[in-house]
Amino acid sequence: MQAETLSMPEPTRPAPILQVSGLHKWFGALHVLRGIDFSVEAGERIAIIGGSGSGKSTFLRCLNFMETPSSGRIALDGTPLGRTTAGKPDEVRYPESELCRVRERVGMVFQQFNLFPHMTVLENAMEGLVTVKRMKKGQARERALRELHKVGLGEKTDVYPGRLSGGQQQRVAIARALAMEPEILLFDEPTSSLDPELVGEVLRVIRQLAEEGRTMLLVTHELGFAYHFATKVIFLADGVFHEVGTPDEVLKHPGQERTRAFLDRFTEFSF
């Protein structure tokens, strides 16, 4: 008699840490994001490239709700954010209390450093911990110092931003974001405001964070860095993801003519 074979259930795959479905964003008549579907797995490092005005910054700002999506849904760990209205499933409301929790989980580093000029480096790094997380100042100070040392600014705690270089200010901004212990880090062209000789110090910090296994999305024009940093590259144009793939697929062997035309602008003077 043949023994009965027992089939084992398939292991349940965890939900993506971030899931975007049908994301649109209008500014008046301007349709900036045009129905983006995308997911991010924990530990992925995603580089987003594209021309000026393509929607890159708006996409990031929608992910932590600095911009409210016009339509579509965003989910964290499988839980959709916002609340729908009975009988109007396309209308989503986002209570401010929920958005504050989202911004703690999804940190952002901007093109401009957005530091408070009247606060020292340490006070800037502590500010979110004290005002948002309601952390006691001693505990906030300890955590902020830890992150400032990580970005190489442990000796600058009592200095005001105006006495720092652009690269140092951006590293303070990164330390401030890290102090909140986000699950996802968003970088919106973090080196675009820097003089060329200061770009490397910021990219080295981002590479260090990548080596720690953090989940990160980086908008950048530093294509060489993107190639070595990213596990996935997105080419965004006219509010649409035209191409998504590995760094080799998108940056070295793009399949879409629009992607090739964009990349040619970065290589036409190479020799």
Q: Does the structure show a pLDDT above 60 at 269? A: no
Find the range with the poorest average confidence among 103-112, 127-136, 261-270: 261-270
Express as a percent the part of the chain with pLDDT over 70: 93
| Mean pLDDT of the region 111-118 | 92
CA angle at residue 152 from 151 to 157, to 5 degrees?
Answer: 100
Picking from 77, 80, 106, 66, the residue whose alpha carbon sits closest to that of residue 18 is: 77
C-alpha to C-alpha distance for 188 and 194, rounded to whole angstroms: 13
Tens digit of each residue's pLDDT (9 = 90 or more) over 218-248: 999 999 999 999 999 999 999 999 999 999 9
* Res. 193 pLDDT band, cuts 50 70 90: confident
- Domains of the chain in sequence order: 40-76+96-267 (3.40.50.300)
Contacts of residue 16, Cβ cutoff 8 Å, sequence gap at least 6: 39, 40, 41, 75, 78
C-alpha to C-alpha distance for 253 and 259, rounded to whole angstroms: 10
User: What global pTM score does this model have?
Assistant: 0.90
| Mean pLDDT of the region 147-165 | 96
pLDDT computed for residue 204 by the predictor: 95
The most distant pair of C-alpha atoms in the chain lies apart, rounded to whole Å, by: 84
* Res. 150 pLDDT band, cuts 50 70 90: very high
Tens digit of each residue's pLDDT (9 = 90 or more) over 49-97: 999 999 999 999 999 999 999 999 999 999 999 988 777 767 889 999 8
Q: Which two tokens stand for residue 189?
A: 């062209």
| Mean pLDDT of the region 242-259 | 95
Please answer whether residues 106 and 64 qualify as being in contact, where contact means their C-beta atoms are separated by less than 8 angstroms. Answer: yes
pLDDT computed for residue 14 by the predictor: 77
| Mean pLDDT of the region 163-183 | 96
Q: Does the structure show a pLDDT above 50 at 271? A: no
Q: Higher model confidence: residue 1 or residue 198?
A: 198
C-alpha to C-alpha distance for 10 and 199, rounded to whole angstroms: 46
pLDDT computed for residue 20 by the predictor: 97
Q: Which two tokens stand for residue 48?
A: 């987003």
Q: Higher model confidence: residue 59 or residue 101?
A: 59
pLDDT computed for residue 266 by the predictor: 76
| Mean pLDDT of the region 6-21 | 76
Find the range with the poorest average confidence among 9-13, 40-44, 62-66: 9-13
Q: Which two tokens stand for residue 111?
A: 């093109």
